[in-house]
Amino acid sequence: MKKNKSVIVFTDIKEFTLKSSLLGVKGITQILDKQDAIIIPLVEEYNWSIIKTIGDAFMIVFWNAQDAIKCMIEVQKKFKLYNQTINDEIYKIKLKISLDEWELIQRETIKGEDFFWEAVNISSRLENITPEEKIFITEKIFEEIKNENEFKISPLWEKEFQWILHSIKIFEVLY
């Protein structure tokens, strides 16, 4: 096991369960294939790691906040362009994206490399409250990038999450 300071990113497609019920295997496969075609090349371009997919969600690790935010802004922009070409709302892909930074425990599992610890839990819970087509970050990410002139950040609120022993200040990345 290794400890690394890392940025953990979660993405999730809005209303994926409903889409799955309505579209069936062929339609949902089409959506997942398109999501892969947009996200995977961008993450590879930034030379970072997709740790795993969980249904329609991605768990991605970056080693710095600037690259993580740049990449996720590009992801959101590409999905906006893609959605403009789609007439049927059910086939549109509207992502929710969250980021947190912390020391993570990196560990080999039966299925390969995985990451654990508080940042994973916080980023996952933050993604659950992130609206479609938005990027939410924690105060830790904000503190690392606040002096970067290329990012527009808006403070939102402070929230407590179950089983997290401190409240989390939440910010939105505007793009």
Asked whether residue 128 is domain-assigned, the answer is: yes
**Dihedral sign from CA coordinates of 65, 67, 70, 73:** negative
DSSP string, 112-146: EEEEESHHHHHHHHHHHHPPTTEEEEEHHHHHHHT
**Comparing 111 with 171, which gets the higher pLDDT?**
171
Dump pLDDT digits (tens) for 97-145. Answer: 999 886 555 555 445 555 545 556 676 767 777 899 999 998 889 998 8
Residue 54 domain-assigned (yes or no):
yes
What is the CATH number for 119?
Answer: 3.30.70.1230
- Domain-embedded: residue 170: no
Residue range of the domain that includes 119? 2-135
Count structural domains, the chain: 1
Q: Give the global pTM.
A: 0.84
> Is 162 within a domain?
no
d(CA 52, CA 54): 7
Does residue 174 fall inside a structural domain? Answer: no
Inter-residue contact 8 to 120 (CB < 8 Å): yes
In this predicted model, what pLDDT tens digit does every residue of 36-93 receive, in sequence order? 999 999 999 987 778 768 889 998 888 889 999 999 999 999 999 999 999 999 999 9
143 lies in some domain = no
Q: In terms of pLDDT, which residue wins out, 51 or 19?
A: 19
Residue 142 covered by a domain:
no
From the centroid of its chain, how far is CA 121? 13
Q: At residue 170, what are phi and psi to the nearest 5 degrees?
A: -115, 140
Question: Do the domain assignments include residue 141?
Answer: no
Crossing angle of helices 65-84 and 16-45, rounded to 10°? 130
